[in-house]
Amino acid sequence: MLSEDQICYQTYQETADWLLSRTKLRPKVAIICGSGLGMLAEALANQEIFKYTDVPNFPQSTVQGHAGQLVFGELEGKACVCMQGRFHKFEGYPLIKVTFPVRVFRLLGVEVLIVTNAAGSVADGYNTGDIMIIKDHINLPGLAGQHPLCGPNDERFGSRFPCMSDAYDKSLGKLALQISRELDCSDYVHEGVYCMVGGPSFETIAEACLLHKLGVDAVGKWLEFSGLRDSLFPLEQNRLYSVEDDSKPGIVD
């Protein structure tokens, strides 16, 4: 297994080339399936499955219930790739390995990344089993320097200082809400702010109260793409938003 400082552009490329040489599918959409959501991949037609143990340089799933495989296939005729099982810092992986698949997806040609995971709610009015569409996040370890982009920056994956003020695609969020209404399940679907933590312990009551006061709606483990926004969607310009009124962000730079 490669050590953290051996991972470079060629490592991601080697993994992407290995996959591209074994499937004719060229997915534009990737879905990362979190705990309890591995069955999302079962919706894919014409499946081609690659176990993480066979994919060069890929980390291995150690968490119960995470199958540990990449499932390529078609959803409504569109090529798609699903990760059945994601990686967590609490498993002992450095963040560069937790986020490894996102850069491989980029080199496969993926343009849309959907990340799903299990989380706990600290918001009023949420119930067990509800779905929250993330509109923004607080990367608590990231604010303290636990960040996958620490270290030398490779501009081929994005800028040194990526803008995160529009990290989540608003049109996809709207579409998901609209579909939940059409399916008559909008009572169980919310839009909110996610806070990522390292784990593995869940938060104390005091920590949950703190997160609630900070405007957090749900809390869970690290999301792979956080900070790697540019890796998937290179930005043409850097924008910074005023955070005084989050409903109407104003460009300040």
Ligand X SMILES: Nc1nc2[nH]cnc2c(=O)[nH]1
| Sheet with 189-197: strands ordered across | 119-121, 218-221, 189-197, 131-139
Q: For the purposes of burial, counting CB atoms within 10 Å of the CB of 90, is it exposed (0-12), middle (13-18) or buried (19 or more)?
A: middle
Least distance to ligand LQZ7MJT6, CB of residue 197, Å: 10
Q: Of ligand X, ligand LQZ7MJT6, none, which one does residue 63 interact with (CB within 5 to 8 Å by kind)?
A: ligand LQZ7MJT6
Q: For the purposes of burial, counting CB atoms within 10 Å of the CB of 61, is it exposed (0-12), middle (13-18) or buried (19 or more)?
A: buried
Nearer to ligand X, 9 or 202 (CB): 202
Q: Which amino acid is at 248?
A: K
Q: Which residues bind ligand X (CB under 6 A)?
A: 118-120, 197, 199, 202-203, 219-221
The residue whose two tokens read 């959409």 is: 29
Q: Of ligand LQZ7MJT6, ligand X, none, which one does residue 203 interact with (CB within 5 to 8 Å by kind)?
A: ligand X
Q: Of ligand LQZ7MJT6, ligand X, none, which one does residue 197 interact with (CB within 5 to 8 Å by kind)?
A: ligand X
State the number of binding residues for ligand LQZ7MJT6 (CB under 6 A).
10
Asked whether the bond before 234 is cis by omega within 30 degrees of 0, the reply is no
Residues that bind ligand LQZ7MJT6 (CB under 6 A): 34-35, 63, 86, 88, 117-118, 199, 220-221
